Amino acid sequence: MLVPLTHAASYHLEEKIMGIVIWLVMGGLVGWIASMIMGTNAQQGIILNVVVGIVGALIGGWLIGPMLGAGSINEGITIMSFIVSLIGAIILLALVNLFQRRTKH
């Protein structure tokens, strides 16, 4: 039997869904900008841009964020969290390009 959600549980669910939507939108934007900077935009579609942006945000939040004293996008969307995510996405694309060049030779 299904139990209806309470107001608090409903609000918490809406908050989680909104967080996922923000991650997808910001990930797409960050991935797209990073792919334009790295010259891989023609090779990537929107799904790959989102993946690169989200993974880049994780890398940036883990590596770059503590050095710059900036939070991740989870803690709020700021200019610094966007820059940290962008740097992480650029690092990710640089590593992917490096490995692709090595496997071609």
Alpha carbons 81 and 65: distance in angstroms, whole number: 8
- Residue-averaged pLDDT of the chain: 83
Helix (H, G, I), strand (E, B), or coil: what is residue 44? Answer: coil
Q: Cα–Cα–Cα angle for 91, 79, 93, nearest 5°?
A: 15
Other Cβ atoms within 10 Å of 66 Cβ, number: 11
pLDDT-based confidence at residue 7 (cuts at 50, 70, 90) = low
Model confidence at 76: pLDDT above 80:
no
Q: Are 84 and 70 in contact (CB under 8 A)?
A: yes
pTM score of the predicted model:
0.79
